[in-house]
Chains A and B, each alone.
Chain A
Amino acid sequence: MENERAKAAQRTTRLHLGMEAMETLRQVEEFPDNPLAMGYFYKLFQKMFTGDSMLPENKQIIATMCVQVPDELIYATGAVPFRLCSGAYAYDQIGAEFMPAKSCPVVRATSGMLNINEEIWGDKLSSVVIPTTCDQKKKAAEQIGDWSYNVYSLEMPSSKESDAARFYWQESVKQFALDLQKITGRKITRKNVKKAIAKKSEAGQLYRKLHELRMSDSPVILGKDMLLVTNAFFMDDIDNWIPAVTKLLAELQERSSEKITVSGRNAPRVLLTGSPPVFPNIKVPILVEQSGAVIVADEVCSSSRLLYDAVAYDEEILNDMIPAIADRYLKPCTCPCLSPNNDRKRKLVEMVKDFKVDGVVYQAFSGCLPYEMEQMQIAKVLEEAGIPMLYVETDYSPEDQGQLSTRIEAFIESIKMRKRKRKGGIASAAGRL
């Protein structure tokens, strides 16, 4: 009886997941003139969310949460990293059954996903690595550990300023490397770490090229597509991801030289920051672009923070390479679980300049206190820089779409009016009174 009910719940959740994914994909593909190379990513998500299982086949899987888990070390063992952080409302609803109403949807959905798939995933995931980032992830880690998962808590400092914090993290990552050898039964050597760094660096270089392409005055890729590309990195095999992005990049570069753009020259340029948009929950970015703006840059852990930073080691010995990898995941990190987080403020102001941003959209998931609280500081910094910011508090439920679209449209309209006025053309009627 119990078993049958669980089976039914799994079936219904899978159905919901598929419906949700297809609806998001429909909205994504509805935009005119999508790059052909994006087809790979649309299909990938369709397959992942409507197929039998999301997990990669025939690979040893090390599941991760948060951007601070060093992929390089996992690649070095020959296993594949699989980032769990979920954006699915279907899983969020499962999580809501046992998690507090005010908890963060990312944590809730991820816990829900692990809960409902426990039977199969428990065997397939060699380990679930959860860094001690925010309080909710830490507590969720303990809970997930009670199920049939092998949870690895990767100790991380709550600040990155002092040398002590840096060394603590380096030691923590070194220990992780040692433990990974036990988990996977394979040795981490100088040679395979070197290869792993090179592979991740190749992905990073591709990301940076896309990133720079978005700085141009005539944008060639929409933010919703960009987010799908980076989201795909969570789950896709890096060896498939790299050629797919290479193809996309080539197509975009060609479009750029032919002056084919995704929007008019005057479309407001928006920077997205805050809680991570993860497929299928990319409703805010989609609404922004449906309102006629272009997301030209993002500062979120499901995109730029995931792929931008690069590892540089000085000496080719494990004792220098592993600390170098560790540094890459802590020092430039702008996760609000770190305090102080002045680097995030500086980065945002710099990005506003580099990407000629007209306005910032700050998304915070209700329940994600670090982002909700940091909003005040960011708002202040951006106000000083003279950049309008829209703060939207939202979650994974589709119910607030109407409200959100009005708010987002009004924000984009106000940017447009400001832009027109600056150009000395038509002013808003109110502006002339």
Chain B
Amino acid sequence: MNKLKRAVNRSDISRFRFCFQIVSFVLLIYGGYLAINIGDQLPTFACVFDDARGGSCYLMGFQHQMSTPFDRMFTGRGIGILMGLMTFAGFFILLNKAWCGYVCPLGTIQDWITKIRTKTGIRYSTYSAPTFNKLKVIKYALLVLLILIPMGIGNSIAGLPKLSHDFAVPFCMICPGRTVLPLFNGDISQLAIDFSSIPKMVFSSLGLLITGIFFTGAFVKKRFICLFCPMSALHYIFSRASLLRLTKNADKCTRCGNCYRACDVGIRAIADDLEHKNIVKGDCMMCLKCVEVCPEEKCLQVSFVGLPIFESTEEGFFKRTTGKQNGK
């Protein structure tokens, strides 16, 4: 057991993640060809607009459900909505934020773009802490809109007229998942602007614009779009209940900041928070790079249902960094 533990702690998690991401990517983008369907409430972007998908993103169904008129929410429909949310939460607590770091195809694509950038020798950009703190709020606003706009379709809110059905699934319309993921199946139809109505035209143009930002952003800043992702915001509500946890023993922390620098999303708290044991913050994607670059014994620890499965160790740190330095 100890031997296994040591082997895991010495392992190169980033390489494991790279492989895991490829498998997840194939499963979610092409799973349909093998008649695989994991479910319709996945806490990650398995896009409904991709015909060969191996499962579906929860947000699409969720937006539809939110357009249910209020009076019908408390009927059988309501139970359906609740069941959907529970299934989503059930999937989520299994892997916590690692859905973003290990499964999400949009995340994977961004990581690939990062790899390409590294080859060019261009340095990534970072936000200063105040900017970061301002920007990270946006995803919660998007989450609220993603709920309110559909509600406005099924109900008249505050005396305003109901919104037209052209406003349906507003988030999907602007989500780069809709435009990008079908491309991997040769489907370029989502790149068109929908001129059928003004809202649709606005939304689909916005979608294209965001798609552009998605690609350029990922080239400039690691995991650029994730900071604005409302799925990530929805995740965070359930994060504390998750079975997979990332914890920090502040006593061991020297605040060397290796973790902060390695963090693709740029979470400063990972290095500076000395109060909380649970260190999974709203933007964390549990890629576990922080654990890899921490040279202090058991300072950062990943556990599943209370069992430690991966810990920062001095031995692991030097094995990985010298491996890298020797060009392996």
Tell me the A residues contacting B by CB distance below 8 Å. 162-164, 166-167, 190, 194-195, 197-198, 201-202, 205, 208, 309-320, 323-324, 327-328, 331-332, 343, 346-347, 349-350, 353
Number of cross-chain contacts by CB at 8 Å:
85
Give per-residue flags for B260-296: 1 if the beta carbon is below 8 A from chain A beta carbons, else 0: 0110000010010010000000000000010001010
Q: Known contacts being A312-B262, A331-B256, is A317 close to B123, with CB within 8 Å?
A: yes
Interface centre among B124, B129, B256, B318 (most CB of A within 10 A): B256
Are A309's CB and B325's CB within 8 A? no
Give the contacting residue for B255; candidates A162, A205, A208, A332; CB below 8 A.
A332
Q: B257 contacts which chain A residues (CB < 8 A)? A: 166, 327, 331-332
Query: In the assembly, what is the distance between CA of A166 and CA of B118, in Å?
Result: 23
Return chain A residues, CB-CB under 8 Å to B134. Answer: none
Cα distance A14–B46 when bound, in Å? 76
B268 to chain A, nearest CB (A): 8
A195 to B314, CA, bound (A): 20
Would B254 and A317 count as touching, CB distance under 8 A?
no
| In contact, B123 and A201 (Cβ under 8 angstroms) | no
A318–B118 Cα distance when bound, in Å, is 11
Q: Judging by beta carbons under 8 Å apart, are B261 and A324 in contact?
A: yes
The answer to whether B325 and A194 touch across the interface, beta carbons within 8 angstroms, is yes
B71 contacts partner chain A, Cβ-Cβ < 8 Å: no
**A346 cross-chain contacts in B, Cβ below 8 A:** 251, 274
Question: Is the Cβ of A201 less than 8 Å from the Cβ of B318?
Answer: yes
Pull 22 A–B residue pairs with CB atoms less than 8 Å apart, ordered by A.
A163-B129, A190-B121, A195-B325, A198-B322, A198-B326, A205-B318, A310-B317, A310-B321, A311-B321, A312-B258, A315-B118, A316-B118, A319-B121, A319-B122, A320-B261, A327-B257, A327-B258, A332-B256, A343-B255, A346-B274, A349-B251, A353-B251
Q: Which chain B positions have C-beta within 8 A of A317? A: 118, 121-123
Q: Is B124 within 8 A of A332, CB to CB?
A: no
Closest 9 CB pairs of A and B: A319-B123, A332-B256, A198-B325, A331-B257, A312-B293, A332-B254, A312-B258, A310-B295, A163-B129
Contact partners of A163 in chain B: CB under 8 A: 128-129, 268
Shortest Cβ distance from residue B18 to the other chain A in the assembled complex, whole angstroms: 14
How far apart sit A311 and B325, CA to CA, in the bound complex (Å)? 11
B318 and A310 form a contact (CB under 8 A): yes
Closest A residue to B314 by beta carbon equals A208
Give the docked Cα–Cα distance between A201 and B320 (Å).
12
Cβ of B324 under 8 Å from chain A: yes
Distance from B74 Cβ to chain A, minimum over Cβ atoms (Å): 49
Bound form: Cα–Cα A317–B251 in Å: 32
- Chain B residue with the shortest CB-CB distance to A202: B322
> A198-B322, A312-B293 given as contacts; is B258 within 8 A of A347 (CB)?
no
Alpha-carbon separation in the docked complex, A320 to B120 (Å): 13
* Chain A residues whose CB sits within 8 angstroms of the CB of B5 once the complex forms: none
Contact B261 A314 (CB under 8 A): yes
Task: State whether B261 touches A327 (Cβ < 8 A).
Answer: yes
Question: Distance in Å from the Cβ of B317 to the closest Cβ of chain A?
Answer: 7
CB proximity of A225 to chain B, nearest CB, Å = 22
**Are the C-beta atoms of A197 and B325 separated by less than 8 Å?**
yes
